[in-house]
């Protein structure tokens, strides 16, 4: 049976307010949930028609294990159209921003920033899409000391080439976090608390003793 026309109810004036405020332009990720049930056993053709009727063609749609939909939109405007929607055809839905996927981190370095507070820097960078600032620390003689480098969290899926802080135009480098490593087995991807290799190691040692 063909789905009914129209993606949902008419929007009230207060629903037209943009949801993603302060974000830089570019693709955005949102999650669509059913208020009653999930999308686990819903036709992908039906879902695709529903999303297109609300906001047009998205960049990508993935059905997650919990039965929700992860949608990568083409722009902030398309994401806001989905975020305002409460109904997809006959299904009541809730749409939320995936804040983690909509953020990226970069590093800037400037010695003069030592004389500015984090609040001053954050306020100066707010209009450039920065939502969080962290001072990078170095460990010397057992003590943590602040450096001239700062980690900036941007409200975007990618970092800009430069940012302007005061009169300084600073190059932004991609922040790559240190990979998690287990000190029990020396492998990457998990901590020693959740290490399964130590059980294997115990098993092999037990076999050798026997």
Report how far apart, in Å, the C-alpha atoms of 12 and of each of 9, 15, 78, 90, 96 are: 9, 5, 18, 19, 19
User: Residue range 161-174: average pLDDT?
Assistant: 96
pTM to 2 decimals? 0.68
| Backbone φ/ψ region at 154: left (φ over 0), alpha (ψ -120 to 50), beta | beta
Q: What is the C-alpha to C-alpha distance for residues 10 and 56, in angstroms, rounded to an integer?
A: 16
- Three-class DSSP category at 132: strand
Q: Tell me which H or E stretch contains 22.
A: none
> What radius of gyration do the chain's Cα atoms show?
24
Q: What is the C-alpha to C-alpha distance for residues 96 and 69, in angstroms, rounded to an integer?
A: 10
User: Residue range 82-109: average pLDDT?
Assistant: 93
Selected residue with higher pLDDT from 16 and 27: 27
Q: Name the residue among 17, 3, 1 with its Cα closest to residue 87.
A: 3
Q: Is residue 111 predicted with pLDDT exceeding 70?
A: yes
Of the listed ranges 33-42, 98-107, 162-171, 197-206, the one predicted with least confidence: 197-206
Q: What is the C-alpha to C-alpha distance for residues 143 and 73, in angstroms, rounded to an integer?
A: 45
User: Would you tell me how many other CB atoms lie within 10 Å of the CB of residue 168?
Assistant: 12
Model pLDDT, residue 8: 47
Of the listed ranges 16-25, 76-85, 165-174, 183-192, the one predicted with least confidence: 16-25
Q: Is residue 115 predicted with pLDDT exceeding 80?
A: yes
- Beta-bridged to residue 162, according to DSSP, are 171
What pLDDT, in 10s, does the model give residues 35-94?
Answer: 998 999 999 999 999 999 999 999 999 999 999 999 999 999 999 999 999 999 999 999
Q: What is the C-alpha to C-alpha distance for residues 133 and 161, in angstroms, rounded to an integer?
A: 17
Average pLDDT, the chain: 83
Model pLDDT, residue 197: 59
Q: What are φ and ψ of residue 109, in 5° steps?
A: -130, 130
E strand intervals along 90-129 = 91-97, 104-109
114 and 147 in contact (C-beta within 8 Å)? no
What the chain holds in terms of domains, given with CATH numbers, is 13-97 (3.30.70.330), 104-174 (3.30.70)
Q: What is the C-alpha to C-alpha distance for residues 181 and 197, in angstroms, rounded to an integer?
A: 13
């Amino acid at each position: 049976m063909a789905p009914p026309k129209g993606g949902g109810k008419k929007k009230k004036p207060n629903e037209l307010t943009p949801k993603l405020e302060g974000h830089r332009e570019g693709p955005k990720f949102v999650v669509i949930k059913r208020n009653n049930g999930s999308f686990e056993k819903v036709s992908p053709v039906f879902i695709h028609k529903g999303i297109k009727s609300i906001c047009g063609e998205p960049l990508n749609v993935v059905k997650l294990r919990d039965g929700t939909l992860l949608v990568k939109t083409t722009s902030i405007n398309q994401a806001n159209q989905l975020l305002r929607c409460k109904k997809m055809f006959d299904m009541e839905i809730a749409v939320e921003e995936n804040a983690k996927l909509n953020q990226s981190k970069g590093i800037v370095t400037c010695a003069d920033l030592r004389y500015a507070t984090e609040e001053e820097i954050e306020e100066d960078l707010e209009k450039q899409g920065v939502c969080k600032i962290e001072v990078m620390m170095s460990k010397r003689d057992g003590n943590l000391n602040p450096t001239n480098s700062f980690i900036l969290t941007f409200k975007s899926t990618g970092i800009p080439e430069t940012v302007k802080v005061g009169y300084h135009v600073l190059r932004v480098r991609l922040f790559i976090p240190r990979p998690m490593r287990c000190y029990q087995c020396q492998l990457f991807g998990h901590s020693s608390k959740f290490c399964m290799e130590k059980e294997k190691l115990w098993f092999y040692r037990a076999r050798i003793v026997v």
